[in-house]
Structure 1
Amino acid sequence: MASDGTTFESLDLPRVLNTSTTDFVEEFYQPLLSRSVEYKRGVGFFTTNWIKSAARGIAELANNDGTAKWITSPKLTEEDWEAIKKGEEARSDEVLRDTLQQTITNLRFDLEYDTRNAVAWMIADGLLEIKLAVPTESLSGGDFHDKFGIFYDTDGNRVAFHGSQNDSQQALRNYEAYSVDCDWLGERDAEGVDTHELRFDDLWNGRDPNVNTYTIPEGVAEDIAELRDYDNRPYDTPFDNLDDPANGEKAGPEITLRDYQREAVDSWFENDCIGLFRMATGTGKTFTALAALNEYIDQHDGPVLCVIAVPVTHLATQWAEEMEIFGLKSPRFLFGTANSDWKSDLSRVVSNIKLGIRDHDIVITTHKTLSEEYFREKVSSIDGDVILLGDEVHGLGSEEQRKGLLENYTARIGLSATPERHYDEEGTEFLLDYFGGTVYEYTLSDAIPEYLTPYEYDPIIVEMTEDELEEYREESRKLATAAGSDDVEDEIVERLAMKRAAIVKGAENKYRHLRRLLQKMNNPDHLLVYTNPKQIDTVQQILNEEGIVHHKFTYEEDEETRKELLEGFDEGRWDALVAMKCLDEGVDVPATRQAILMSNSGNPMQFIQRRGRVLRQSEGKDKATIYDMVVVPWLHPPEEIGTSEQNLLKKELDRFSEFAENAKNRHTALNVIDSIRVKYRI
């Protein structure tokens, strides 16, 4: 099997593999897990042998900031089964804990150090969840005894496998086999992966009528977590070197708000300390929110708990750094990758607030942790003042994340340049209602040129190849059939749409235009190239051939490396950064003078965030230039134009219009767009 590449497509996976010809650990689990960002596994009994088998190579997954979900079966007596069947949560937890206790004891002695340590750390860091499956009466006397799994990579590729009578160490010595489906290889494989994924998700979410699923008792998870070697986490996290934040206050300088920031804070207080700040990227949303928080704390005599929720972990440090400006108390990082003991820390923080030991405490958590049951229960137990600051608040509108938006947050600030959720009216309405609507708006046109850099916008028209157009049409036909059928799940329709979109994002002619742009720039500096995982290797090769000193900025780089890259880019040590989604939210790249957008979605949130990265002010920067590639079926379309070809352009042209509207060369850019509209009769 190939060992290069970062996605599954670089691997040569057979349709069926067996223990006679394949080393499952070295040739299957580790190559896949080292490229995975998620791993779902369902199999057998909760035993040390099962855990050892399920955890083969799992530290590789953790190194990618990946997550795992396991479904297994407890060994139940008839008496245990009857007790669980009654459905009393406390009794069920007691039975399951007693059933698993001996296995927990055995973990310390029966598992090899590497496996035990990796599993224990991942549970402690919140990267691994385990659920227990118990068949209902319709399968009376039976067990959950399936063996299957699904891997996911950063590019959305999926690999599913199924087989092996026993998932254990003995199975590696037996003649055993897996059948393997890779969803990018064809329709049959994709259907196989869909089937395994849907039944796993049904089991995990309790939707299978013949199997009940139970969350592993908290005490069991804590017991496993205690088996870790505290000095040897087997994977890196951005916060490995952070100490427990100090509790002392720091004196800050006199703070002066810009006029619009002052207006935003005043509007929030006038609205009973609730509302959304809809402010263009780069105008200081974080700073404005912290000013409001600082004044809120000063005005309250009683204890206040301040909760700041960020979408991605590296934004926690940016918030903490800006808090120092205000002299605010150092925050506690309460999420798994930063603090394995976040639950006990949260418990202490809440107790101190409830007992009045502290006048206020500030915690920073992630959107995901905010919505977890333990976090919600602790915050809900506070009768006094609790303030929530939701960063990039659009992310909190999903069905799962909005569980964290509790009614007992007595004050609320939501921050986003784009609070609306793309294709999710229900989520958007929930956010607007919860945060009391937008109390202050500061648009891009308001901010240019005083607070954001003026920019020129250059739309680049990219024509599809004949093969790409034919493939796009074929995927459109499949999508239309699936969308019109009552028997096809929404998830399958969504994946077909994503597959079609990938054809557009990966259009081959983009590379030709990239090379032309680089030559036209003539020794570019402070250039940002937005790309995707499938494009990045070719893009870097072209930059090398054009003599441009560059570095990639992706999920693979750790926090310290990213900091060094941004500093080097700012100082001119790198002519260019080649970035993927990790620059979409919250990362400041003010030195950027040119940006080439090679990969965009129709999601306004994404392209508005990307534009904001480019328009931040920097010394010696009087303007920015954005080159935006849009894919068209033909430069000169025929008389008969299909609906799918027109639909391809509609969303793209909406983005073009949005970008052109505030550009210095507005009329020139709009002329390019209008000519396409006319040709395609849109």
Structure 2
Amino acid sequence: MLLSDVILKKEYRSFTDDIVNSFYLPLLKRANLYQRAVGFFSSSALIELSFGLTELLKNGGKIQLIASPRLQEDDIIAIEKGYEERKSVIEKAIMTSFSEPKNYFEAERLSILANLIADGRLDIKIALLEENGILGIYHEKLGLIYDYSGNCVVFTGSLNETSTAFSHNYETIDVFCSWTEDADRVSVKCKAFNSLWNNEVKKMEILDFPIIAKEKLQSYKKETIDFELDNKEYPKTESVPTPHYEPSFTKGFQLHDYQKEYPQIENVSTPQYGPSFPKGFQLHDYQVGAINEWERHGFRGIFDMATGTGKTYTGLGAVSRLSEILNHELAVIVVCPYQHLVEQWVEDILKFNMKPIIGYSGSSQKDWKQKLDGAVRDHKLKVKNKRFFCFICTNATFTSEFVQSTIQKVKGNVLLVIDEAHNFGSTKLSSMLSEKFSYRLALSATLERHNDTEGTEKLLNYFGSKCIEYSLERAINEKKLTPYKYFPIIVTLSENELEAYTVLSNEINKCIIVGKNGKNKLSEKGERIALKRARLVAAAVSKLEMLKEKIRPYIKDSFLLVYCGAASLLNEAADYTEVDEDEIRQIDAVTRMLGDELNMKVSQFTSKEDVEEREILKREFEQGENLQALIAIKCLDEGVNIPKIKVAFILASTTNPKEYIQRRGRVLRLSKGKDYAEIYDFVTIPRALDEVSSLTHGDMKKDLSLIRNELKRVEEFSRIAMNTMESDQVIQEIKEAYGLNEEIMVDDSL
């Protein structure tokens, strides 16, 4: 966090510049020492001095203030002729300079200064100019702002600390920076102030601030500080140009690459190199415990944490811990399944003072390959401040020949962080888990792979043991996620859909083979047919009319999500999941129904929208005025974070516990004003329940595969819902119809 990160103008004028937001706030946010000569002392001068001090307060910074007493002619004559003691005259002059605060903001600002004095972080001295017994006025207007690295910004000019300086008077200040061609001038000003402060200037007398005046200032002290005071009193305005803050990036990095996608980089503070925690940021105890456990296991392990409980922050905290221990001699490789998840990671990586190289086919960093190659070279040669780098990419990019060959060139410490690590249990991705990575971290809400114990075992063998298991139920109980009401909605297949379902089920039964572990599994052909059957169930036509019925009570509400399609698989060679034609037909039909028939403000949210379009949609959705509902395919799987979702209508869900548990977790993220979430889960069964009793034993058996798969999800969702009794009633109706009450529910995904 350096002063040199701030782009400053040479001159600021109060009528054309927002001096508070563009000068004081960004600088004092990075400062540890503020030296100020303000001219005459007064309480209004103190108030104007306080702009930005909440940021200095957070940094643990200090203030040194020099002021001159506002002496009247009678006071000067009395001192010169010795009629009164100098001390009492000065005390009286300072005390008469206090005036009571006129409003909330003035009262709060005096309280901030009182707190600083009480903490020993504000020191005030009084300056008197005297030559041959004649008193003069010390009225220099000078400011010096330092950061922890010794950088200094000096400003001088006509800006008076008076109650009208920022708003009514026409004031100007000139600015000089120690890291520019003004370095000599800055040095002179620094020495001049310090000489004055230490009472080393001839014809000047520096006196301690009177105790009685300190006591007066202490009378304004409040126990709590409003840290948003500056933002409240001086909000940024569009009409006033404000500079942005430009961190110093790694070799070859162009800031505009980030600014296109990440305007919030303006608020990122960056050390010279290496990650660090954001100012004021604290992890929860369970997150710290996970990192401690990871360290105890030699910086290898698994964070098994429910969606929405802070896996990313815990992972970045682990990266920061290891990097600090290794003196920032570390290469970090972060891998995510989808490009949209990469983008979300980048937002958080920036907060941790890292400047990631972003690698995937549509990356805004068009030269990311050159950046990665250069970063690996600098790391290998241990170039100063270049011994740390962070590269983030998709699964597909990670498996590319270029990335694999480049990573092999890395010498020294390498940390591999895999998000949604269950994907790496597959044959292709698990082959990329090289011994090259001395440090390893896997993140997943559900590490165990569905119907793939061999793949799960590969992950456990490579990453090590679980350092934390933080379940969704625990997260809700500990108020890290929102509680929810669950409403399973029964829908049935049409006659044609049921016929097709039966045919596909018969074909699947012919594709059962014995796996290596002796258990039955589907052949590749069988898996393709099963996927086709799952798509048929996901796109059941009866869901549309049922959706129209269930969404009517919310027709005027906002923060709604309709989730379509759930049957496509992640292509390991692609950066995003392609959408099936059945899913497109369903989402288009839902969009027409809600938008045209019900006149709701809706928008699709799919992989067709690029990053910029998605960000616009998210902002509109969060505002809740121009966009009531998002109609999405895959967005919950891809890790898109939209906390404001309050009501979700899930039209399609897979049989994979990993996927439907993750989707539920994404609806439960905390958000202001969201006391609980509501989930409408469209549960597909082959036929109406009142028809089941007339089925033959053989026909009923054909239904059970779908029934069991749906019931597993419904029972899991119902288990910790707020309205368990209500949702359990639906479960019992299905079980009674199919005679499953006495049967132990077994895994039957075929």
Indicate the TM-score class for this superposition, using the shorter chain for normalisation.
0.5 to 0.7
- Residue by residue over 1:105-127, the C-alpha shift from the partner in whole angstroms, topping out at 9 and shown as x without a partner, is xxxxxxxxxxxxxxxxxxxxxxx
Match of residue 539 from structure 2: 506
Match of residue 618 from structure 2: 566
Question: Deviation at 1:240?
Answer: 8.1
8 Å CA contact 1:528–1:578 kept in 2: the answer is yes
Q: Distance in 2 between matches of 1:424 and 1:550?
A: 39
8 Å CA contact 1:420–1:428 kept in 2: the answer is yes
Q: Distance in 1 between matches of 2:309 and 2:522?
A: 42
Aligned partner of 1:623 among 670, 673, 676 = 676
Match of residue 586 from structure 1: 639
- Residue by residue over 1:98-143, the C-alpha shift from the partner in whole angstroms, topping out at 9 and shown as x without a partner, is xxxxxxxxxxxxxxxxxxxxxxxxxxxxxxxxxxxxxxxxxxxxxx
Question: Deviation at 1:247?
Answer: 9.5
Q: Distance in 2 between matches of 1:416 and 1:272?
A: 20
Q: Distance in 2 between matches of 1:303 and 1:289?
A: 18
- Residue by residue over 1:551-608, the C-alpha shift from the partner in whole angstroms, topping out at 9 and shown as x without a partner, is 0001111111100111111110211000001331221111111000001111122212
Q: TM-score, normalised by structure 2?
A: 0.56
Q: TM-score, normalised by structure 1?
A: 0.62
8 Å CA contact 1:253–1:325 kept in 2: the answer is no
Aligned partner of 1:288 among 314, 337, 346 = 314
AA aligned opposite 1:538 = A
Residues 328-337 or 621-630, more deviating: 328-337
Q: Distance in 2 between matches of 1:293 and 1:302?
A: 10
SS at match of 1:362: strand
Q: Distance in 2 between matches of 1:468 and 1:329?
A: 52
CA, structure 1 residues 389+262, in 2 after alignment: closer, same or farther (shift >3 Å)? same
SS at match of 1:510: helix
8 Å CA contact 2:305–2:445 kept in 1: the answer is yes
Match of residue 492 from structure 2: 463
Q: Distance in 1 between matches of 2:495 and 2:522?
A: 31
8 Å CA contact 1:550–1:577 kept in 2: the answer is yes
Question: Deviation at 1:522?
Answer: 4.7
Say whether 1:656 aligns with 2:708. Answer: no
AA aligned opposite 1:437 = S
Aligned partner of 1:600 among 650, 653, 659 = 653
8 Å CA contact 1:380–1:406 kept in 2: the answer is no
**What stretches of structure 1 move > 6 A for 4+ residues in a row?**
237-243
Task: List alignment gaps of at least 5 residues for structure 1.
Answer: 1-236
How many residue pairs are counted as aligned between the two chains?
Answer: 443
Task: Kindly report the root-mean-square deviation, in angstroms, between the aligned alpha carbons of the 2 structures.
Answer: 2.6
Match of residue 394 from structure 1: 422
| Bigger Rg, structure 1 or 2 | 2
After superposition, residues 110-259 of structure 1 pair within 5 angstroms as 248-249=272-273, 252-259=278-285
Q: Distance in 1 between matches of 2:507 and 2:674?
A: 48
After superposition, residues 636-655 of structure 1 pair within 5 angstroms as 636=690, 637=692, 638-640=694-696, 641-655=699-713
Q: Distance in 1 between matches of 2:623 and 2:492?
A: 37
Aligned partner of 1:540 among 591, 595, 598 = 591
CA, structure 1 residues 584+239, in 2 after alignment: closer, same or farther (shift >3 Å)? farther
Match of residue 398 from structure 2: 370
8 Å CA contact 2:380–2:387 kept in 1: the answer is no
SS at match of 2:713: helix
Question: Deviation at 1:238?
Answer: 11
After superposition, residues 277-316 of structure 1 pair within 5 angstroms as 277-301=303-327, 303-316=329-342
CA, structure 1 residues 561+679, in 2 after alignment: closer, same or farther (shift >3 Å)? same
Question: Deviation at 1:470?
Answer: 1.6
- State the identity as a percent: 37
Say whether 1:481 aligns with 2:506. Answer: no
CA, structure 1 residues 242+462, in 2 after alignment: closer, same or farther (shift >3 Å)? closer
CA, structure 1 residues 489+516, in 2 after alignment: closer, same or farther (shift >3 Å)? closer
Match of residue 728 from structure 2: 670
Task: List alignment gaps of at least 5 residues for structure 2.
Answer: 1-256, 516-520, 566-582, 741-750
CA, structure 1 residues 239+583, in 2 after alignment: closer, same or farther (shift >3 Å)? farther
Aligned partner of 1:406 among 418, 421, 434 = 434
CA, structure 1 residues 647+618, in 2 after alignment: closer, same or farther (shift >3 Å)? same
Question: Deviation at 1:381?
Answer: 3.5
SS at match of 1:453: coil
SS at match of 2:529: helix
SS at match of 1:642: helix
SS at match of 2:355: coil
SS at match of 1:562: helix
Question: Deviation at 1:330?
Answer: 0.7
CA, structure 1 residues 620+257, in 2 after alignment: closer, same or farther (shift >3 Å)? same
Q: Distance in 2 between matches of 1:484 and 1:428?
A: 20
AA aligned opposite 2:356 = P
Match of residue 330 from structure 1: 355
SS at match of 1:583: coil
- Residue by residue over 1:174-199, the C-alpha shift from the partner in whole angstroms, topping out at 9 and shown as x without a partner, is xxxxxxxxxxxxxxxxxxxxxxxxxx
8 Å CA contact 1:592–1:614 kept in 2: the answer is yes
Say whether 1:380 aligns with 2:408. Answer: yes
SS at match of 1:434: helix
Aligned partner of 1:521 among 554, 557, 573 = 554
Say whether 1:556 aligns with 2:608. Answer: yes
